[in-house]
Amino acid sequence: MAIGGDQGGSIRMPAAWCGIVGMKATHGLVPYSGIIPIEIYVDHAGPMTMNVADNARLLEVIAGTDDLDPRQYHSLKPGTLDYSSTLGQDIRGLKVGVVKEGFGRPESESDVDAAVRAAAEQLRALGAVVEEVSIPEHLLGPALWTPIGTEGIAETMMFGDGYGCSRRDLYVTSLIDKLHGWELRADQLSETTKLLTVLGVHMKAHYGNRFYGKAVNQSRRLRAVYDAALARHDVLIMPTMPMKATPIPPPDAPRALYVQRALEMIGNTAPFDVTHHPALTVPCALSDGLPIGMMLIGRHYDEATLYRVGHAFEQAGDWKKR
């Protein structure tokens, strides 16, 4: 589950817009064996539930090592991970960094920003040490995501029949058969998928894999910047989506509107696709009857702290009445 519909927004409804809890676990923590890939480097799997406790318990079940998943960089065994034990622990003394650049984006809505800042104050009231932190490089995250997303999607999902080659993987041949020959059914693709595929093919034809490779290399530098902030703070927070849920475009909407709706939401979430940090979205308020999500970002494989903070916030009051 990529929080925020990070694969162009046309695949899954973002958890933050559904008023539910979603965990984008550390890259590879949850095996994706049997899941059709979109782009191997940014694909994350994780649970979506109605509350934090259920989310933690579900992650305990699905996380762990699977020898069929070549993306895994750990040896964590299924059934040995304990996230729910942190539920109910107070958060006094935990350090929370409110990322300045996650607010006030060109596409941000003021009520969304205000609701997440109010949620940060609620964490302060619960005893957390809350302070604003500036991470200017956060604004560069989508620029790194773009070549990885566009070129990777074209290479793996489209021309690779959803899987590609040269990986020790579980190849679901029925899904490969389903995707094969998509060029003859291109009119069935979403407007966003068409755009990303055309752009990916254009980049490949004119530049090879240069910009994909450069973006992956630069993602390590972005990861290091967040790691430095997380060395000083236990969690970072910002709005999951910079805006509330937008209307579904009508059938006769121009292509530009479809693409805008798909991509305008990912400014805060896309960076963590390429740095592979875990992120938990927790609903924190309603505005105009629509839910607003607060995103908690943590250190790699430290989902337990995200659940601890998210559960404490959730138990402090009914988010629908905030």
Q: Which helix (H) or strand (E) holds 42?
A: none
Domain regions of the chain by residue span: 15-138+213-321
Nearest 5°: the CA angle 47, 50, 51 is 90
Phi/psi at 48 (nearest 5 deg)? -125, 125
Instruction: Reduce the DSSP state of residue 51 to 3 states and report it.
Output: coil
For the stretch 10-57, pLDDT in tens is 334 566 667 899 999 999 999 988 888 889 899 999 999 999 999 999
What is the fold, at CATH topology level, of the domain defined by 15-138+213-321? Amidase signature (AS) enzymes (3.90.1300)
What is the value of pTM for the model shown?
Answer: 0.92
Residues 273 and 2: beta-carbon distance below 8 Å: yes
Q: Give the rounded distance of the alpha carbon of 98 from its chain centre.
A: 18
**Residue 16: what pLDDT?**
67
Residues 264 and 244: beta-carbon distance below 8 Å: no
**Residue 167: what pLDDT?**
84
* % of residues, the chain, pLDDT over 90: 70
Least confident of 70-84, 193-207, 265-279: 70-84
Q: Where does the pLDDT of residue 78 fall: very low under 50, low under 70, confident under 90, or very high at 90 and above?
A: low
- Whole-number Cα distances in Å, 138 to 102, 141, 180, 270: 8, 5, 37, 10
For the stretch 108-156, pLDDT in tens is 999 999 999 999 999 999 999 999 999 999 999 999 999 999 999 899 8
Residues 43 and 37: beta-carbon distance below 8 Å: yes
